[in-house]
Amino acid sequence: MGKKVKTAITPTRNEDYPAWYQEVVKASDMAEHSAVRGCMVIKPWGYTLWENMVSRLDEMFKKTGVKNAYFPLFIPKSYLEKEAEHVEGFAKECAVVTHHKLEQDENGKLVPAGKLAEPLIVRPTSETIIGESMAKWITSYRDLPLLLNQWANVVRWEMRTRLFLRTSEFLWQEGHTAHATEQDARERTMMMLDIYTKFVQDYLAMPVVQGNKTESERFPGAVDTLCIEAMMQDRKALQAGTSHFLGQNFAKGSNIKFQSEDKEEQFVYTTSWGSSTRMIGGVIMTHGDDDGVMMPPKVAPSHVVLIPIIRKPDEKRKIMEYTQSIADALSAKDYAGRRLVVEIDDRDIGGARGWEWIKKGIPVRAEIGPRDMDNDSVFMGRRDKSPQEKESLKREDFINKISDILDDIQNNMYNKAVAFRNENTHEIDEQKEFYEFYTPKDKGIHGGFVHAHWCGSAKCEEKIKKDLSVTIRCIPFSSRTEQGKCICCNSTSSRRALFAKAY
Amino acid sequence: MGKKVKTAITPTRNEDYPAWYQEVVKASDMAEHSAVRGCMVIKPWGYTLWENMVSRLDEMFKKTGVKNAYFPLFIPKSYLEKEAEHVEGFAKECAVVTHHKLEQDENGKLVPAGKLAEPLIVRPTSETIIGESMAKWITSYRDLPLLLNQWANVVRWEMRTRLFLRTSEFLWQEGHTAHATEQDARERTMMMLDIYTKFVQDYLAMPVVQGNKTESERFPGAVDTLCIEAMMQDRKALQAGTSHFLGQNFAKGSNIKFQSEDKEEQFVYTTSWGSSTRMIGGVIMTHGDDDGVMMPPKVAPSHVVLIPIIRKPDEKRKIMEYTQSIADALSAKDYAGRRLVVEIDDRDIGGARGWEWIKKGIPVRAEIGPRDMDNDSVFMGRRDKSPQEKESLKREDFINKISDILDDIQNNMYNKAVAFRNENTHEIDEQKEFYEFYTPKDKGIHGGFVHAHWCGSAKCEEKIKKDLSVTIRCIPFSSRTEQGKCICCNSTSSRRALFAKAY
């Protein structure tokens, strides 16, 4: 690169990655902090991205027979006490409702009143309450499988927050299924992981590694936790979805039994799986550059912005008509299963418009001035190319090729992310090299992914975590049986694990 | 009617309307009370109805330029104190979060800990927090109109709850828009009321009366509140949507200003409008009968259930294949803008299946036994006809005519509701007659709608409310100027108001 190019976002990723992230979220108009500690306001540009993600994922869930339901926001404190694991996992930091009204005191100030007999917790997950419903709803093999999902807001009190990545309130989905046999439940666990994988790779253009969590990283109560791990541009890992096989543990805790075809009473086998607005953080950190966010076309809030350039008032009517005709033609088309969304930005703020849309990450911009109109063309810029690189396209070509252009952008984004991930993924066999690899050199650079041998002991895992803040992200499904020595204790190992620093 | 017919729901509507309602919600498998006081679990059959309603309404909103956003669940107590009207309206009964963690006491019990400096309120509406954002986001005429909507859960503590109609937590949407001129804002207020009207009438098959609220029934802070009022089968009114023109009141309270094109600083004009899961209660009470719920086809969770009737094991394969072929053909069709949803119910519980689906209110049932298969036909029942009234239809006819059949059911439901409403709507001019009309005779019968003259004084309105629990639902837009005498005080009146008991 050599000479310093002026960029829209300061600082750049290389200068200060965490600060770049905060800035890029703000500059893209996706979200902002609210006056309420730890909670965010998701602005229309960010929320529309989420809606597009939800609608596609939801469709994929439903194709496999999953149905949505809605469970109460509040969990009685006693539900959390029932499950010791919950107390450990969630109960520590949560929003506690203790009163059900406000009253004015003698100074006219509002004070909490109407103390509840039992405090209520704002759901950190709906697991316990869904378990209670399952126990009620399932009596016979005819009720199985029961395939439930919920889209909702959840709260886990956070002291240090980062928009989308870590906020006290966030939006997510949690799926919970119950099955008659272990095999059915295990197949469902894998099926949902495959859906997350397909969605994240094909729609969010984020390559992921599929694998199993180690025992210490597993979800409390799970027999097996499957996950997908993506690499951000600071080379840290982000878990983009998890799917748990819970065996009969959850069924025993919540007393979910059914009568089998041969009239035997048995516990069901359950699964659970979830994904959240954190994925939006992943999209930003995978694709964003020093000019702003880059929206994958398949989930972009809008696909194309048309920017009429009007220098003389008497040109206005004709240019606006020409612009509108292009917008109409584009808006009649479908892309990736939904209508193409086209914006016309005719604000009287000149060239600032182009930069605003670059920061927001819209896939395609098209400027339309008098000369473009006279040539029956548009002047197109793509978000995956540099802001200066624009080309003149005949109107008909632009309209006819828009799907190809968007596909090309989507594919470029994915391929670039794969290349970056591969470049920063290594096999390391020597402890010294491993420790050097993860010793911070530049601000915000975190080594990368390392496939290294691990003996399987929680002690070694813990030591590496303590020494380097590096964790085993997963045992990748792709990890072959292979003789080696544990990167920590040097004892025999038959498989490599995937190590990384993580969000 | 004469002789007593056995019905699926006990008690019937005439025997005990409120008890019928609770029973029909339960029998239809739409929702149930949860262990958390006042909160409901919306089961898949009820939630899918809500999803269909949301997706259609949302599409109608977006066509007018509205964008969705998401605001925090929690409202700082100080926000409510700022607006005296809020304290009056909502602050009394609300969920108050006072702590942000749970800790184990010496007995191992979880107790609230980490007291918050300022209590947080679980949103009863997001009005204050959206106002704060608008004040930040709007600076220039270029930022107007700002057209926001939010789909979310809200909480208003309720001691006596009824599923869908009155619950502590419910789901709703609240739209908030800001405009440069009064005219724009007034047009938007009416536009949104028209969207609610179209949706409720065309999709939910519920006829409504559009009108203005009186000053005392108006939303706090509103200059004008528009509403739509539907009649339930106990002849009570249910408000099915409201749209408020707030003038500059809200802008002044939240300090929402903009610089106009001629560089003058002005307050914006705002609107707000909302609808909620209460509408589901309206669907149940408008269309449900003594056999269960009746789903309007355009929003029904599923359209058709196929019920294979297998008496001998060796018939099973052929009947299931025949059934599946019909399901495939139907599922490839669209109805009212979405895919036709077809269920196959092959559970081994015999005739109980048909009654279950009747109670759930699926529009069309088709039984498929060996004789039907041999005749290349199905044995169809429609939810808008009596359970016993079924007809044999050739397979091809059934498949080709399914959209017409569904349209016919939708229209019948609407027309029946219109006829019922008209039958129970009267013009009354004598006070004595008015009082007699609203004096309870049978359990659960509430008179009906009355168009009566009203002088315009809050005193008369209040007296009637106190005497009869009857309120002015609205001044209908259709109400002509006409000389008359106030039904309460006998003084001159130039217009009739719509009176009713209400939910």
Give the number of residues written for chain B.
Answer: 503
Domain parsing of chain B, residue ranges: 17-71+125-287, 74-122, 304-421, 426-500
Which range scores top for mean pLDDT: A76-80, B28-32, B105-109? B28-32
Amino acid A89: pLDDT: 57
Angstrom distances, CA of residue A312 to CA of A318, A321, A365, A374, B262? 11, 15, 22, 15, 20
Q: Choose from A29, A36, A121, A177 for mutation: most chain B CBs within 10 A.
A: A36
Residue B362 backbone dihedrals phi, psi, to 5 degrees: -60, 135
Q: What percent of chain B has pLDDT over 90?
A: 90
Nearest residue, CB atoms, A44 vs list B69, B76, B120 = B69
Query: Which superfamily, per CATH, for A17-73+123-287?
Result: Bira Bifunctional Protein; Domain 2 (3.30.930.10)
pLDDT-based confidence at A3, cuts 50/70/90?
Answer: low
Q: Choose from B73, B78, B129, B160 for mutation: most chain A CBs within 10 A.
A: B73
Q: Is A40–B72 a contact, with Cβ atoms under 8 angstroms apart? A: yes
| For residue B485, pLDDT beyond 70 | yes
Query: Which superfamily, per CATH, for B17-71+125-287?
Result: Bira Bifunctional Protein; Domain 2 (3.30.930.10)
pLDDT-based confidence at A441, cuts 50/70/90?
Answer: confident
Number of alpha helices (DSSP H) and beta strands (DSSP E) in chain B? 14, 27
Average pLDDT over residues A381-407: 97
Q: Is B347–A142 a contact, with Cβ atoms under 8 angstroms apart? A: yes
Measure A494 CA to nearest chain B CA, in Å.
42
**What is the DSSP secondary structure assignment for residue B185, as one 8-state letter?**
H
Please give the radius of gyration of chain B, using alpha carbons only, rounded to the nearest integer. 26
Amino acid B86: pLDDT: 54
Q: Choose from B88, B110, B260 for mutation: most chain A CBs within 10 A.
A: B110
Q: Which residues of B touch A129 (CB under 8 A)?
A: 34-36, 41
Torsion of CA A120, A121, A125, A127, to 10 degrees: -40
Q: Which residues of B touch A104 (CB under 8 A)?
A: 87
pLDDT-based confidence at B114, cuts 50/70/90?
Answer: very high
pLDDT tens-digit readout, B241-297: 999 999 999 999 999 999 999 999 999 999 999 999 999 999 999 999 999 999 999
| For residue B67, pLDDT beyond 90 | yes
| For residue A104, pLDDT beyond 90 | no
Range in A208-212, A370-374, B4-8, B42-46 the model is least confident about: B4-8
Residue A494 backbone dihedrals phi, psi, to 5 degrees: -115, 0
Q: Is B69–A43 a contact, with Cβ atoms under 8 angstroms apart? A: yes
Note the ipTM here.
0.96
Measure B346 CA to nearest chain A CA, in Å.
10
What fold does the segment set B426-500 form as a domain?
Translation Initiation Factor IF3 (3.30.110)
Measure A23 CA to nearest chain B CA, in Å.
17
Q: Which residues of B touch A92 (CB under 8 A)?
A: 101-103
pLDDT-based confidence at A85, cuts 50/70/90?
Answer: low
Beta bridge partners, B93, equal A101
Contact criterion met (CB below 8 Å) for A168 and A161: yes
Q: What percent of chain A has pLDDT over 90?
A: 90
What is the spatial distance between Cα B215 and Cα B456, in angstroms, rounded to a whole number? 9
Nearest residue, CB atoms, A153 vs list B42, B44, B73 = B73
Determine the residue of chain B that is closest to A148 in CA distance: B44
pLDDT tens-digit readout, B120-157: 999 999 999 999 999 999 999 999 999 999 999 999 99
What is the spatial distance between Cα A357 and Cα A231, in angstroms, rounded to a whole number? 26
Burial class (CB in 10 A: 0-12, 13-18, 19+), B28: buried
| For residue A29, pLDDT beyond 90 | yes
Q: Is A102–B91 a contact, with Cβ atoms under 8 angstroms apart? A: yes
Contact criterion met (CB below 8 Å) for B99 and B230: no
What is the spatial distance between Cα B355 and Cα A383, in angstroms, rounded to a whole number? 57
Contact criterion met (CB below 8 Å) for A172 and A277: yes
Amino acid A2: pLDDT: 47
Amino acid A160: pLDDT: 85
Three-class SS of B28-80: CCCEEECCCCCCEEECHHHHHHHHHHHHHHHHHHHHCCCEECECCCEEEHHHH
Q: Choose from B48, B71, B86, B96 for mutation: most chain A CBs within 10 A.
A: B96
Q: Is A72–B122 a contact, with Cβ atoms under 8 angstroms apart? A: no
| Class of A425-500 in CATH | alpha beta
Helices (H), ranges, B87-138:
127-137
pLDDT tens-digit readout, A192-243: 999 999 999 999 999 999 999 999 999 989 999 999 999 999 999 999 999 9
Measure B429 CA to nearest chain A CA, in Å.
43
Range in A89-103, A246-260, B37-51 the model is least confident about: A89-103
Whether the full predicted model's pTM is greater than 0.90, yes or no, is yes
In degrees, to the nearest 5, what angle opens at C-alpha B365 toward C-alphas B359 and B368?
130
What is the spatial distance between Cα B402 and Cα A262, in angstroms, rounded to a whole number? 40
Burial class (CB in 10 A: 0-12, 13-18, 19+), A332: exposed
Mean of per-residue pLDDT scores for chain A: 95
Determine the residue of chain A that is closest to B343 in CA distance: A65
Torsion of CA A285, A291, A293, A299, to 10 degrees: -130
Amino acid A1: pLDDT: 43
| Class of A304-421 in CATH | alpha beta
Nearest residue, CB atoms, A99 vs list B50, B98, B153 = B98
Q: Which is higher by pLDDT, B245 or B440?
A: B245
Structure tokens at B174: 């609240």
Give the number of residues written for chain A.
Answer: 503
| For residue A133, pLDDT beyond 60 | yes
Peptide bond into A145 cis (omega under 30): yes
Question: Which residue type does A281 have?
Answer: G
pLDDT tens-digit readout, B178-188: 999 999 999 99
3-state secondary structure of A225: strand
pLDDT-based confidence at A440, cuts 50/70/90?
Answer: confident
Measure B39 CA to nearest chain A CA, in Å.
6
Torsion of CA A353, A358, A360, A364, to 10 degrees: 100
What is the spatial distance between Cα B485 and Cα B453, in angstroms, rounded to a whole number? 6
What is the spatial distance between Cα A215 and Cα A388, in angstroms, rounded to a whole number? 50
Q: How many CB atoms lie within 10 A of CB B291?
A: 21
Helices (H), ranges, A152-293:
182-198, 249-254, 278-287
For residues B322-357, one letter each, b for 16 or more C-beta atoms within 10 angstroms of the residue's C-beta and e for the rest, the string is: bbeebbebbeeeebbeeebbbbbbbeeeeeebbebb
pLDDT-based confidence at B452, cuts 50/70/90?
Answer: very high
